[in-house]
Amino acid sequence: MTAKPYLTRLAIWLLVSLPALTAFVFVTPADFSSAGAVLNLMGRLSGGLGLAGLLVAAVLSCRIPGFDQSFGGLTKLWQLHHKLGLSAFILLLAHPLLLAFAAAEVSLAAAADSLFSMQPTVLYGWLALLALMAFIAPTFHVFGEPDYQRWKRLHRLAAVVLMFGLLHSLMLGRTLPASWNKLLWGGLGLLALSAMAYRWLFSRYYGRYRYRICNVAAVSDNVVELSLQPLQVPLRYRPGQFIYLTPFASELLAGAGEEHPFTLSSAPSEPVLRLAIKTLGDATKALQSITPGSDVTVEGPYGCFFRQTELKTKGLWIAGGIGIVPFLSYLRHCASQHQAADVQLIYCVQDEQHLLFAPELQQLTAVIEGYHFTPHFFSRHGALDLDFITQHCSDLRARQVWICGPPPLILLSRGIVLGAGVTSGDIVTEEFTLL
Ligand SMILES: Cc1cc2nc3c(=O)[nH]c(=O)nc-3n(C[C@H](O)[C@H](O)[C@H](O)COP(=O)(O)OP(=O)(O)OC[C@H]3O[C@@H](n4cnc5c(N)ncnc54)[C@H](O)[C@@H]3O)c2cc1C
């Protein structure tokens, strides 16, 4: 049984707060004796919290298949990773400023000295902060939309940040007794180091599967469905899960050797894996014209859009565009297992031409007991609204809602069903956005 995602998130925030909480045990009245002393304490705490946030964010980036389940899936885990990284960045920017303000109580020279001291320990802190700025800056779109692959390579600077940050804390930490200091930073450092070692070294041998492309079927003018046959042990997965695909075909005009996440469109019982891929950028465009025969690596599975392979409740499924894929996988699974599914699928697209897998989605209504299919065309029906939903799903409040599609559709649909009285615990979403 996996832990509830909110409990896992709570445990993570507690882990991040551990150095600061421990520091409170060793706080003395002298730490509150003047405004400068309080600012100094805040500066030390913000540094400790910031470094702990970065170390735990590094732990979360290990991407071990299965690790994401207790977070509610990899996309949710990644959102937590981003939040930790951003909070740590703000705290670490505040850290030297607070210490300088504290020292200003003594003199301006002391403040300047605290910032620009040439002591190696202080330099380590600055090196960590500058490296952190270098790889966080693109997140704020300072230099325009970040190129994903370049941004990922920049993330390797995290190793430099953590190394100098740890050295700075171990050598300069004054809040905790030396033995506690070593224990806490050593423990968190070891966790982060193990996660990074897994990602960079051992992930080549665990959770990766070799497949060969055996069929490429055009679904529309900008979507293909690839079929992959296993070359060794096949991947085991649940409907709605996704993998990272790395193609190696030399014919590819872009994206050879690059990994990209795609949801599996096949049923788990099929002998092949299937992936429906829509053109979005250069790598997905190149995949539209790939020919059968080349090898790929598949890493995963990740995500838990559907927690079980058999729905325990009635469902309303809202899909947008290529977001139909997890639902298609689930329906193919039901059909292969002769399993009923009490679900109403509303599939939102611009117009008839953009409806993907329409004949199959329609034909499955005759095969799967309880399954109903309704297309929604923005060009004809306008934006999705409560009237449209209740017209096709009158018992909305008795249903659990799954939504997958572009972020604006997720936001809109979530707002509508929340407004209609569905609780947030009964809404599951999956975004196909930057991971
Ligand atoms: C959980 C998940 C499941 C997905 N499932 C599918 C699917 O079943 N079918 C499908 O067609 N698409 C799916 N996607 C989207 C797909 O991963 C991106 O379209 C693809 O990575 C874009 O690569 P590109 O080089 O063609 O585009 P680029 O030009 O590199 O980027 C276009 C956009 O995609 C984003 N992007 C680029 N690389 C990645 C990446 N590695 N991870 C996340 N976002 C990225 C960029 O931020 C940018 O906004 C899924 C994404 C996620 C996160």
CATH number at 423 reads 3.40.50.80
Domain shared by 410 and 268, yes or no = no
**Atom nearest to 303 CA in ligand 1:** 1
Number of structural domains (the chain) is: 3
User: Do 83 and 195 fall into the same domain?
Assistant: yes
pLDDT of residue 116: 87
**Whole-number Å distance between alpha carbons of 396 and 96:** 53
Q: What is the pLDDT of residue 24?
A: 87
Give pLDDT tens digits for 269-285. Answer: 999 999 999 999 999 99
Which of 281, 302, 323 marks a domain boundary? 302
Do 126 and 93 meet the contact criterion of CB atoms below 8 Å apart?
no
Q: Which residues of 181-197 are buried (b: 16+ CB within 10 A; e: fewer)?
A: beebbeebbebbbebbe
195 and 78, same domain (yes or no): yes
Domain final residue pick, 302, 333, 351: 302
* Entry pTM: 0.90
Q: Kindly report whether the peptide bond that precedes residue 239 is cis, defined as omega within 30 degrees of 0.
A: no
Residue 309 lies in a domain: no
User: Which pLDDT does position 1 carry in this prediction?
Assistant: 56
Residues 88 and 176 in one domain: yes
State whether 9 and 121 are in the same domain: yes
Place of tokens 């045990």: 25
Is residue 178 located within the same domain as residue 257? no
Q: Atom 9 of ligand 1 has which residue's CA nearest to it?
A: 277
27 CA to centre of ligand 1 in angstroms: 48
Q: Are residues 365 and 399 in the same domain?
A: yes
Residue 310 belongs to some domain of the structure: no
Q: Is residue 235 assigned to a domain?
A: yes
Which residues, at least 6 apart from 363, have a Cβ–Cβ distance to it below 8 Å?
none
Q: Is residue 102 part of a domain?
A: yes
Using the 3D structure, point to which of 258, 278, 302 is the last residue of a domain. Answer: 302
Residue 190 lies in a domain: yes
- Ranges of residues in the chain with a pLDDT under 50 are none
Q: Is the CB of 223 under 6 A from ligand 1?
A: no
Query: Cα(278) to centroid of ligand 1, in Å?
Result: 9
pLDDT score of 152: 81
What are the angstrom distances between the C-alpha of 391 and each of 367, 376, 384, 396?
23, 12, 12, 10
Q: Indicate the pairing of strand 208-220 with strand 295-302.
A: antiparallel
One domain for residues 198 and 216: no
**Which atom in ligand 1 lies closest to the alpha carbon of residue 430?**
1
Does ligand 1 lie within 6 Å of residue 253's CB atom? no
- Which ligand 1 atom sits closest to the C-alpha of 326? 8
What is the reported pLDDT for 434? Answer: 62
Same domain, 195 and 332: no
320 belongs to a structural domain: yes
The verdict on the CB of residue 282 being under 6 Å from ligand 1 is: yes
238 plus 198 within the same structural domain: no
Same domain, 290 and 323: no
Give the separation between CA 58 and CA 82, rounded to whole angstroms. Answer: 10
The answer, yes or no, to whether any atom of ligand 1 lies below 6 A from the CB of 242, is: yes
Domain span at 189 = 5-204
d(CA 391, CA 403): 18
- 428 Cβ closer than 6 Å to some ligand 1 atom: no
CATH number, position 92: 1.20.120
Claim to verify: residue 56 and residue 124 sit in the same structural domain: yes
